[in-house]
Structure 1
Amino acid sequence: MTSATELDLTIPGISCASCAGRVTRALTALPGVSDLNVNPVTKRAHLRLDGATLPQVQDALEQAGYPAQLTTTRLTIDGMSCASCSGRITRALTVRPDVAQAQVNLATHRAEVTHAPGLSPEALAQAITHLGYPAKVAVPDCLAAPPPDQAPDLRRAFLTALALTLPVFLVEMGGHAIPGFHHWLHGLVPTQALWLAQMVLTLAVLAGPGRRFFTAGIPALRRGAPEMNSLVALGAGTAFLFSTVVTLAPGLVPASSRQVWFEAAAVIMTLILMGRWLEARAKGQAGAAIRALIALAPDTATALRDGRPVKLPVADLRDGDLLLLAPGERVALDGVVTDGSGPVDESMLTGEPVPASKAPGDKVTGGTVNGSAALTYRVTATGSDTVLSRIVALVEQAQAARLPVQALVDRVTLIFVPVVMALAALTFVLWLIWGPGLAHAVVASVSVLIIACPCAMGLAVPVSIMVGSGRGAQLGVLFRRGDALQKLAGARVVAFDKTGTLTQGRPRVTAIWTDGIGRDDALRFTAAAEARSEHPLAAAILAEAEGMDLPAARSVTATAGRGLTASVEGQDLLIGNRAALEAGGVPPAPALLAQADDAARQGATPVHLAVDGRHVATFALADPERPEAAPTVADLHRLGLETAMLSGDLLATTQAVGARIGIDRIKAGLTSEDKLTAIHGMGKGSVFVGDGINDAPALAAAETGIAIGTGTDIAIESADAVLMSGNPQGVVRAIRLSRAVMRNIRQNLFWAFAYNAALIPVAMGVLVPFGGPQLSPMLGAAAMALSSVFVVGNALRLRSAA
């Protein structure tokens, strides 16, 4: 790479020459930036980096208020076996001045790189391939199959190694289990012949199923970048070579050290292959959520062509196609019902067990299951635009995320393998000087190489994220950003928007009181006048009057903040609040006014009707709380969290709703800016839950923003997590899951670090002078293999979390 890098960046926020000037000043002040040219017309900046980096450039632009538009590339990577591998790839990418950020995930074998638009994805893949880890650009289709399952191949390798190792193991270790076996065998077959047979079988293990460790580990050693495969290759290879010298050229080894360790080399390979197989099986189970989601999409669907049903591949369908949906059939693509009505099971997408009722005009989502009725629907989204595709993309994005806690692991694994190799060398020297002989020194150093396990460290965080994110998808909780899993676990206060989040978002008529007029007439007159209004309360009155024969309304005039006047069947109507009655000179009826005041105290909105100057009816309209709202708040309190409600509605209404569902703190009459200020005042551990456009700033400002999936796209894009259903109980699920994931990660990290901290010294022999044991290479290989399996197995417990 040259010392200087040319960058061309798009800066969407530039709208005038003044903006371009501010961008110029921000970048000119950055050391290492030269040849700067900012064009306000094309909204592009050309610059030369000579010492500066893209992250520094982006930080300077963000502080100036003009962030650059960067490109994100996803890559699939082969050959990663431990945290050292993923750490090395991360460092190779982030040292490039044209890369802003790189996340490499050991569990999913994927990388997500944010970089300058001028850097091609193929160049990134090539750079990783040059490190010895074959990489390619990920398939853009969200529903592409996940990486192939390595478990079958590793199972075959393990079974082959086991068959070849078993005779070697029995020859050397059979005497420990069967008294007299050793003397009988050596009386039957000369020792040299037994050694030669063991050498051939062990060579077959190392060159056959164990070859993968050498083909990956030795080139890494040559590059000066050793990793887990290097440790295995060195350990098993050293044991084999030493034994081979003893077998073929015994004169080169002192008589006291003429022992062979073929069984150690063979057993090491077999046990580690077993560990890799079990690990691959477990990782395959960890990715089951993604595969289950992908499997929801059917391959074919029945479309109407010229009025006749035709079975077609889903890939051939387009927006606007009419599809027939038989009872029990899975919905192929997102659409809108045009004919028929019945229940649809959406549990795999929303986590809600109760089927949703569908009728003409209602949306259906690809992957859901039709109930007992035949439906016809029109396709509204295909390919990567479908809800299912977006869910898969979000889950994959969360699974590939790098949590802040990962930084600790990265710092350790940066030096772990070189330190282990240095400790193995030190062990060899010390045992050679003070030990019983060369053979013992070799065995001790091999034990140190084999016992070390950066695999467990590397898998501790990402495999928990992988399983936890998949479990969240099953529960209808999508983490758009992986770090939300960590932040949500530290939540202290959960603030809710009211309308559409804790309430149903659709006002309805809860009561009608009349004085001198029939209830149906009052409703009919009012609905006739409100039919010309676009006010949300008008929709509630019209819904209540559904099925009535409404007369025509004339001379409809609306007054902002009060109500409207109209003429219906020759009578003059005034509809509105108390201020509208007073402005119209209509004396309020005491009984109706008392009912209205009582309804207002309960959080309802009173609407009065006057006919020909006489107050004859009062309607109470309210936005009912969701049935799950109160249980959600109670569950949050049981989790030790404080709750708040931030609403733009009237104080009396908000207080009434808050009191009924048990909210701790209530703020009403808030604008978007007021909500933002309230969120900032909550400090660390703030969570905001909302669904509207006006909630987007608060969702972005909160430490963790949770959007209701039935809300607006703007709110969802601003959030860290999304609840696929409108059920606020998903907030409780998300927090419980987040806490479970972080608890699981802490357990994994403790095991990974404690394992190495405890067993590497034992393998070195520090307990031997005190009469303690020293681990053999075989026991070291078993412990190393099981440590990775333990970490992955522990993470799999998250599949039943929350």
Structure 2
Amino acid sequence: MSLHVFLYGEPVLSTLTPPLADPSAPAGGARAPRRRTRMRALPEVRWAAAATACFLPALPLHLTGQPAWLWGPLYALAYVTGGWEPGWEGLKALAGRTLDVDLLMVVAALGAAAIGQVMDGALLIVIFATSGALEALATARTADSVRGLLDLAPATASRPAPDGSEQAVPVEELAVGDTILVRPGERVGADGRVLDGASEVDQATITGEPLPVAKEPGDEVFAGTVNGTGALRVRVERDASDSVIARIVRMVEEASETKAPTQLFVEKVEQRYSLGMVAATLAVFLVPLVFGEELTASLLRAMTFMIVASPCAVVLATMPPLLSAIANAGRHGVLVKSAVVMERLGQVDAVALDKTGTLTEGVPRVTDVRPLPGSGLGERELTMLAAAAEHPSEHPLARALVTAARERGLPLPPARDFESTPGMGVTATVDGLRVTVGAPGRLLGDDVMGGARTAAGPGGLGEGEDAGPAQSVDANARLLDGVDVGAAQAAATPGDVLGVPADPAAAHAAALAAELEESGRTAVLVVVDGAPVGLLGLADRLRPDAAATVASLAALTGRTPVLLTGDNPRAAEHLAAEAGIEDVGAGLLPQDKVGAVTALERAGRKVMVVGDGVNDAPALAAAHTGVAMGRAGSDLALETADAVIVRDELATVPAVIALSRRARRLVVQNLVLAGVFIAGLVAWDLAGTLPLPLGVAGHEGSTVLVGLNGLRLLREAAWTRAAHLGP
């Protein structure tokens, strides 16, 4: 057991956040009760609860002067229930030739009781027992979360048999080369490649992409991702033990095990301090005996020395500022899991941010409405037709279109004869018009869109190269140069420029789609009765406080944060430019994010990673400090992270770093103050005769003094100053 104080448990989190959805949990929320049952079964929790239950009623009886037979047995039970486990662990450590503060504190508590300070000793025991219980509880939760990640992948998969029937086989029995069937709404059972069928797969758990990805024959799919409305036949390409989701589990476990342990200052010196204190106490007891002093007087001097020299004052000098900072941060929506984490936050000098759900809101929204000239439609009519056709769909883009129509107060006529084609789009009859909404590449043809994308770059930008938004606008202006855009009467010139046969409306639509894509948008084409009539651009919107947060983090750390995302480079770079980030890593899988964090740490940086998804968990575990976004964060990210931004207010990240730095300064002040008191009392006891009551008063007085100094961080002004990055 160490002196970490964890303020992270199920009751605390449940009071601050709404229930966190777990897509792998069965109906009824069976997973959470299992976790709570496991935590209640921890012996450390039971013993700490028993010690506290004995101490609390004994304290008022003792302080009000009641007979000792009322409170004495309760104190004794508190000593036994709370002290036997750290004492036993300390003895085992002693057998291994290690002396730690745990055993020293138990001895000090027993020594205090031996000279009449029963309450002080019992309080020390309760503090240690509770600390150890909370640490064990937090450790069990983290282990549970890592194991629970495997639940993302289904236990069985449907494998067709030679006779045409289907078998439900455990995923562990699937071999490379097997074929499995994935029905609409099911999770993919293994990493593999699509053989037949088309669908859209939500693979945010692996890549962090905000929107489902269209899958066709030849495309790769990952175990644990969620299939959309189409059916897929998939050839297995990796064993279950080597799937991406299994590798994420291993990376989290390995990073957690190999992460360099960071301890509070007092714990770094506890071994030497403990040995020195024991040796000094024995010397204080034995040396006077050699020179003829009475046994009782020598023992009293030695016990007084142990009390005044005990590290309790140093421990409490360290903890109040950190715990006060934790409490203050908690009031403002930042759940810091331990005093050690609060101390580490102040050491951060580099920050890596996830994109989807961290810098952005994680929900696509309509950003552009572009009716085609000559279509006869305005922005409102185009939005209404697209939203009405998409209304029956459950696709995230459909929800974004419907939301945009409702925000504009538009009526949604009923959609009839609704059809959804995975990877293509939807078609429905709205007010007698046959409306199709889908991907421009599928509706116009990949050749038309390919030509438009090529022409959209500056000077004929090649495939795979990027142009900025301003460049793409200029390129499209050149593309349509000489065309009567207002009437969309370009004759054959657009087709000539694009290099493919195309009618003017299709060429114009392709050019606008390329422009939207170059600016980081997802382009959606609307076709009415077979003719393109307009496009809508959708994007995951930057959080309102993202740019200010990036600037604050750069001011604190002396380095602009980096962006690490699984999203495509074009969208990532566009959003990074909006947020003020220059260093971008895009298209990254979980292991790539870990590699980027490790590279920064090899360069001597203490890296904070801020993320929210399963794909961010390995990087959160590998970083010096991991911070998870609380509202949409996955269970694994919340458990792996060292701190949780409960209300998803990104601006609290730099504020909590500044608060941690102030807490660290108060810790140094308190350690100096406690050291002066201890040195003075010890010198008095050695040079003269320090009365025991005066020694206890001096020791406890120094503890109270440094405690009050640390409690200054509880004030609202401390957070306000930190939020403005003040000292």
Normalising by structure 1, we get a TM-score of: 0.48
**What is the match of residue 414 of structure 1?**
274
Query: Corresponding residue for 2:644?
Result: 722
Task: Measure the CA separation in 2 of the matches of 1:673 and 1:448.
Answer: 54
2:607 is matched with which residue: 658, 683, 686?
686
**Equivalent residues of 2:322, 2:660 under 8 A apart:** no
Mapped to 2, the partners of 1:106 and 1:708 lie a distance apart of: 22
Rounded Cα–Cα distance in structure 1 between residues aligned with 2:542 and 2:311: 51
Name the residue aligned to 1:454: 311
CA deviation after TM superposition for structure 1 residue 276, in Å? 9.6
Q: CA deviation at 1:725?
A: 0.8
2:425 and 2:436 in contact (8 A); partners too: yes
CA 1:456/1:626 → structure 2, altered by over 3 Å: closer, same or farther?
Answer: same
Q: Contact (CA 8 Å) 2:573, 2:584: kept in 1 or not?
A: yes
Match of 1:509 among 343, 366, 374: 366
Corresponding residue for residue 620 of structure 2: 699
Code of the aligned partner of 1:148: L
Q: Bigger relative contact order, structure 1 or 2, given CA contacts below 8 A and separation 6+?
A: 2
2: CA distance, partners of 1:415 / 1:747: 25
Q: Do the aligned partners of residues 541 and 755 (structure 1) sit closer, same or farther apart at CA in structure 2, a change above 3 Å counting?
A: same
Determine which of 138, 152, 156 is the counterpart of 2:49. Answer: 138
- Secondary structure in 2 matching 1:499: helix
Superposition pairs of residues 518-597 of structure 1, within 5 angstroms: 518-519=377-378, 520-546=380-406, 547-554=410-417, 556-558=419-421, 560=423, 563-564=425-426, 568=430, 571-583=433-445, 587-588=504-505
Answer yes or no: is the 8 Å Cα contact 2:323–2:339 preserved in 1.
Answer: no
Opposite residue 590 of structure 2, the aligned amino acid is S
Give 2:144's aligned residue. none
Query: Equivalents in 2 of 1:594, 1:665: separation in Å?
Result: 29
- Cα separation, 2, equivalents of 1:667 and 1:736: 27
| Equivalent residue runs for 1:172-187 within 5 Å | none
Offset, 1:426? 6.0
The one-letter amino acid paired with 1:699 is: L
Alignment of structure 1 residues 334-733 onto 2, 5 Å = 403=263, 405-412=265-272, 414-415=274-275, 417-425=277-285, 428=288, 448=305, 451-480=308-337, 483-514=340-371, 515=373, 516-519=375-378, 520-546=380-406, 547-554=410-417, 556-558=419-421, 560=423, 563-564=425-426, 568=430, 571-583=433-445, 587-588=504-505, 599-640=516-557, 642=559, 643-683=561-601, 685-711=606-632, 712-733=634-655
Cα distance in structure 2, aligned partners of 1:527 and 1:706? 37
Q: What letter is aligned with 1:457?
A: V
Q: Residue 550 of structure 1: CA displacement? A: 2.1
Distance (whole Å) between structure 1 residues aligned to residue 433 and residue 295 of structure 2: 112
Contact 2:354 2:565 in 1 (8 A): yes
Contact 1:608–1:617 (Cα < 8 Å) also in 2: yes
The aligned amino acid for 2:387 is A
The residue that corresponds to 2:678 in the other structure is: 756
Q: Deviations over 1:492-518 (max 9, x none)?
A: 222222122211222222232222222
The Cα shift of 1:791 comes to 3.3
Q: Distance in 2 between matches of 1:107 and 1:728?
A: 23
User: What is the letter of the counterpart of residue 630 of structure 1?
Assistant: A
What's the offset of the Cα at 1:794? 2.9
In structure 2, the CA distance between the partners of 1:761 and 1:590, relative to structure 1 (3 Å rule), is: same
Q: Distance in 2 between matches of 1:675 and 1:754?
A: 47
Identity, in percent, stands at 29
Cα separation, 1, equivalents of 2:314 and 2:662: 19
Tell me if the contact between 1:608 and 1:615 (Cα under 8 Å) persists in the aligned partners.
yes
Name the SS of the counterpart of 1:656 in structure 2: helix
Q: Distance in 2 between matches of 1:216 and 1:615?
A: 80
C-alpha distance in structure 2 between counterparts of 1:123 and 1:518, whole Å: 70
- Go from structure 1 to structure 2 and tell me whether the alpha carbon gap of 1:798 and 1:649 turns closer, same or farther (over 3 Å shift): same
Amino acid at match of 2:527: A
Aligned equivalents of 1:792, 1:600: Cα separation in 2 = 57
In structure 1, C-alpha distance between the alignment counterparts of 2:418 and 2:541, rounded to whole Å:
33
Q: Distance in 1 between matches of 2:396 and 2:641?
A: 26
Distance of aligned partners of 1:454 and 1:420 in 2 relative to their CA distance in 1, 3 Å threshold: farther
Task: Give the whole-Å Cα distance in 2 for the aligned partners of 1:761 and 1:154.
Answer: 32
CA offsets per residue over residues 113-139 of structure 1, 9 Å max, x none?
xxxx99x979879xxxxxxxxx83638
Matching residue within 702, 715, 726 for 1:787: 702
Give the counterpart letter for 2:377 in structure 1. Answer: G
Tell me which residue corresponds to 2:187. Answer: none
Q: 1-side partners of 2:700 and 2:565: how far apart?
A: 55
SS for the counterpart of 1:639 is: helix
Q: Is the 8 A contact 1:695 1:715 kept in 2?
A: yes
1:120-131 paired onto structure 2 within 5 Å:
none
Offset of 1:423 from its aligned partner? Answer: 3.9
Cα separation, 2, equivalents of 1:549 and 1:441: 91
Q: CA deviation at 1:150?
A: 7.3
Distance 2:609 2:625 in 1: 7
Listed as ranges, the gaps of 5+ residues in structure 2 are 10-36, 92-102, 135-260, 449-501, 720-727
Q: 1:693 Cα shift?
A: 3.4
- The alignment's C-alpha RMSD in Å is 5.2
Structure 2: how far apart are the matches of 1:649 and 1:699?
18
C-alpha change, 1:423 and 1:762, in structure 2 (3 Å) is farther
| 1:596-623 superposed Cα distances (whole Å, 9 cap, x missing partner) | 5554454333323233444321212222
Deviation larger for 591-600 or 721-730: 591-600
Amino acid at match of 1:701: A
Query: What CA distance in whole angstroms lies between the structure 2 residues aligned with 1:673 and 1:212?
Result: 53
Q: 1:641 to 1:706 in 2, by over 3 A?
A: farther
With over 3 angstroms needed to count, the CA separation of the structure-2 counterparts of 1:124 and 1:443, relative to structure 1, is closer
Aligned to 1:148: 56
CA contact (8 A) 1:497 1:690 kept: yes
Deviations 1:373-393, CA, capped at 9 Å, x for gaps: xxxxxxxxxxxxxxxxxxxxx
**In 2, distance between residues paired with 1:623 and 1:212?**
59
Distance across 1 between alignment mates of 2:619 and 2:430: 45
Change (3 A) 1:568 1:710: same
Q: Is the 8 A contact 1:453 1:787 kept in 2?
A: no
Deviation track 1:98-126 (CA, whole Å, cap 9, x = no partner) reads xxxx4567999x9xxxxxx99x979879x
Q: Secondary structure in 2 aligned to 1:491?
A: coil
**3-state SS of paired residue (1:510):** strand
Q: Does 1:228 align with 2:150?
A: no
The structure where helix makes up a greater share of residues is 2
Question: Per the alignment, do residues 565 and 753 of structure 1 end up closer, same or farther by CA in structure 2, a change over 3 Å counting?
Answer: same
CA change 1:750–1:123 in 2 (3 A) is: same
Structure 1: gaps (5+ residues): 1-101, 111-116, 126-134, 161-203, 238-268, 291-400, 766-772
CA contact (8 A) 1:645 1:666 kept: yes
Whether the 8 Å contact between 1:409 and 1:458 is mirrored in structure 2 is no
**Deviations 1:664-711, CA, capped at 9 Å, x for gaps:** 421222233433333333325222222233333333333322221111
1:420 Cα offset (Å): 3.9
